[in-house]
Amino acid sequence: MAETIDLTGDGGVLKTAIRKPKADAMAPSDSFPLVDVHYEGTLAETGEVFDTTHEDNTIFSFEVGTGSVIKAWDIALKTMKVGEVAKITCKPEYAYGTAGLLLKYPQMFEVELVNCRPRKGSSISTVSDEKARLEELKKQREMVAKSKEEEKKKREEAKAAAAARIQAKLDAKKNQGKGKAKAK
């Protein structure tokens, strides 16, 4: 089971690694403060999805540490590396506040850090470094896609096996009474 880390010390922002990054993966920094993420936000109480980039396969981009996103994201993304997927659970005061009925409950976000970039106008040391970074990003996305496809296949196989077991039980119940002569 993955370890859950309390990033704030008060239980306000909890991070659980779902997929660890490569050891040499890039992390947000002063040189690379812009991040691209995929995410899905759900209410912790009900599991109801309230926001996601998965439906339209978009990337959400922002600058870490500027307050342009909820506090929990500014805190959590600073601890992540490219390729990492983590479940971020946060109390309302680290998310959208407690205004509104749905937002009185803790929120959970499954966040994938897709990329770290420099601010516009900043320079990256060389073109070859940028090409290598983009190639690595492409490989990571391909691995994620392959992993998701494998997970989907496993889920479909499990559903088919469960359906077969249920059908076998139903057939067994139907055949229980057959073949016995009834006395009149």
What's the pLDDT score for residue 15? 97
Helices of type H across 61-126: 71-77
Residues 49 and 172: their CA atoms lie apart, in Å, by 40
Which amino acid does the sequence have at 22? K
What's the pLDDT score for residue 121? 66
What's the pLDDT score for residue 88? 96
Handedness of CA 145, 90, 95, 29 (dihedral sign): negative
Handedness of CA 15, 146, 139, 33 (dihedral sign): negative
What's the pLDDT score for residue 30? 86
Which amino acid does the sequence have at 8? T
The DSSP letter of residue 174 is H
CA distances (Å), origin 27, targets 39, 64, 149, 163: 17, 11, 27, 44
pLDDT string in tens for the chain (184-residue length) = 679 999 999 999 999 999 999 988 999 988 889 999 999 999 888 888 988 998 888 999 999 999 999 999 999 999 999 999 999 999 988 987 766 555 667 889 999 999 998 887 665 555 556 667 778 888 888 888 888 888 889 888 988 888 888 888 888 888 886 655 555 5
What's the pLDDT score for residue 170? 85
